[in-house]
Each structure stands twice: as structure tokens, then as C-alpha cells.
Amino acid sequence: MTTTPTRQPTGQPTTGQARPPLPRGPFSRAVGDALARPPGTVILPDLEVADPLGDDEQLALYTCYELHYRGFAGVDPDWEWDLELLRLRRTLEDAFLTALRDAVEGGDDVEAALAPLLTEDPSARGVSAFLRDEGSWDHLREHLVHRSVYHLKEADPHAWVIPRLQGQAKASLVAVEYDEFGAGRASAAHSRLYADLMEDAGLDGSYLRYLNAVPAPALAIVNMMSLFGLRRTLRAAMVGHFAAAEITTAPSARRMEAALEKLGAGERALLFYTEHIEADAVHEQVLRHDVIGDLLAREPEAAADVVFGIQATGWLENGLERLLLGSWDAGRSSLREPLPLV
């Protein structure tokens, strides 16, 4: 691609909130219709979960969880604790959690679960390797859009686990979060760096601007984080997820840096990934030894949930990878709607 990326005009409100997403089926339609009315006035229908990993269910769950983050423009903030909405969310959560547990092997050997993440197969054809070796600006932009539903709120879901830890595990996780949020500088927060990257790539970096375009596999990864963060009983699963994410980020970030350099991106675009190369190499050591180590010293029975968090993260990431590579190999977009040409 030879054109220089240009920033797309924003269609978002100026409050820092996204607009409520368009429905994809009965669950997301019921949630969207409810949020357009005052909380406490709606009786939501009893719906049966057809596919806990489907577009409709995952969007509905993402929408419910977003009320705990920034909320939506024009939506009453009291919907966050509306009992009817919480009842519907619990139906979706339970089905999602069951699907995740059924999909992974389980066990309580944390070191064995982490071991495959510590070495990489150089011949593996993952998304970051594809982007480095074969990818175009169009492929890269799609990847950025998929990841934007997390990276524009990067590290926010993990903050919920802080009051649920003790001792060194808590202190060390807070140290990692401090880096994620820019070490006291808003301009260096990873979510801000990602918005800068999107804008340099010709995308709109507004919060959740592309939520309607992102399919279930990318939403499910963020929903897993929100689920683990909001349920105290899953605090060890959140720790396992966080460790798995940090271990795999630095090698992937190196490949993404190379992909951006190949495409002629500027320094502002590169900063998000160069920051992760340096930071996450340290973070994975802290999470493995100081957070997981201290947590299991206090609560050895939590090992099975740590393993579950590691395995569920890998399983969902593999699903997103299959979607992207399968779509690109077939010459079609991996998004629900095409991006504007730049």
C-alpha cells in the first residue's frame, strides 16, 4: 500500500464514552432496548443462550460490562446495578464460564501450564508473524481494530483484582499496573499510546469507536478479563490470565514493531510496541514469581484457577488468530463491516 494513513473523522461524542452498539440478536437487542429507558422500569425477557461464544451473546455481555467502565453516551449510569440487567448478565456469564471450562484441559500444575508460553516455535505462523512477513496496511488496520476493544481500556480489568490480593502479590501487581497506566504520566498510559498508534495508522482512536465492527472472538477475550475481574472467586484465574498475557506480549511486540517499520510507520506509531517490548519482559517475571508465587504460598488451593486463567487465555487467543488468518488467507475482511479506505 502506497498511500499515507490519514486520521478518520470521529463520530463519537466528546464525553469519552462510546455510543451504545447496534444489536446482533435477541440478547444484545434486549440490552440495547433496555438501556434506552430509565433503569428500574424494564422487565427483561427470559432468553436461552444459543451460543455462549456467539456474536449476539458476546456483544450483550460486553455491553453489560462496559457499564462498569465508562458507560455509554446517553445511558443512565444507574443501569450499572440494575437487578434485571444483572440477572440477564448472570445468565450470559454462567454460560460463557461453562464454555471456557469445557474447552480447556484444566489441572493444577502452574509451571506446566506456563512452560509452553516461555519458548516460541520460530516456524509458527501467528498473526504478528503474518503481519511482519506478508501483511499490508489493510491487514494491520484490521488487527488494530480487533485489539482496540481491549487496548483502549488496557489494564483496567486487572485493576479489579488488586483489593482481592494480599501481601507481595498485591504489591507486585500494583507495580505492574503502575507501568501500564503510564507511571504517573497520562500521555504514557498504554491506552493513550494505542490511541496514538491507531491515529497514525489512519484510524479513529476514539474510545470503542469500532465496537460495531469487532466480532465475537475479540470481544470474548475482553469479556473473559471482565468476568475474572468482577468475580472475587475468579481472582486466581485473573492472575493466571495476566501472567499468560505478559509472557506472550514481548515477543509479539517485536514482530509488530518490525511489521510497522516495514510499512513505513512513524515513531509515534512504533511507541506502543517498543514500550511493551521493554516493559513486559520485566512484567512477566514479576507476575510469575512475585504475584503467582506469593498467591500460591498463601492459597495453594488456587493453583487450579491460575491454570484455568492461563489455558482460557490461550484458547480464546487461538480462536481470534484462526479468524484473522483464515479471513486473510481467503482474501476477505476479518471484521463485521469494512473499514473506510485511506
Q: Where are the alpha helices (DSSP H) in 163-234?
A: 167-180, 190-200, 216-230
Q: Give the number of domains in the chain.
A: 2
160, 43: one domain: no
Mean pLDDT, all residues of the chain: 93
pLDDT exceeds 70 at position 10? no
What does the pLDDT read at residue 248?
Answer: 86
97, 130: one domain: no
92, 133: one domain: no
pLDDT exceeds 50 at position 262? yes
* Contact yes or no for 11/209 (Cβ under 8 A): yes
Confidence of residue 123 (pLDDT cuts 50, 70, 90): confident
219, 190: one domain: yes
152, 195: one domain: yes
Confidence of residue 200 (pLDDT cuts 50, 70, 90): very high
* Contact yes or no for 28/63 (Cβ under 8 A): yes
Total-model pTM:
0.94
35, 154: one domain: no
Q: What is the mean pLDDT of residues 179-198?
A: 95
Distances (CA, A) of 48 to 14, 57, 95, 111: 37, 10, 10, 38
pLDDT exceeds 90 at position 16? no
- The residue range of the domain holding 299 is 111-329
317, 294: one domain: yes
Distances (CA, A) of 342 to 3, 66, 132: 7, 30, 20
In one letter, which amino acid is 150? Answer: Y
In a domain, residue 239? The reply is yes
Distances (CA, A) of 106 to 6, 25, 297, 312: 46, 32, 20, 9
Q: Which of 75, 103, 131 is the last residue of a domain?
A: 103
What percent of the chain is modeled with pLDDT above 70?
95
52, 78: one domain: yes
What does the pLDDT read at residue 95?
Answer: 98
Closest by CA position to 207, among listed 147, 142, 149, 140: 149
CATH code assigned at 166: 1.20.910.10
74, 127: one domain: no
Start-to-end C-alpha separation, the chain: 10
Q: Which of 55, 70, 103 is the last residue of a domain?
A: 103
- In eight-state DSSP terms, residue 254 is H
Q: CA-CA distance, 146 to 210, in Å (whole number)?
A: 8
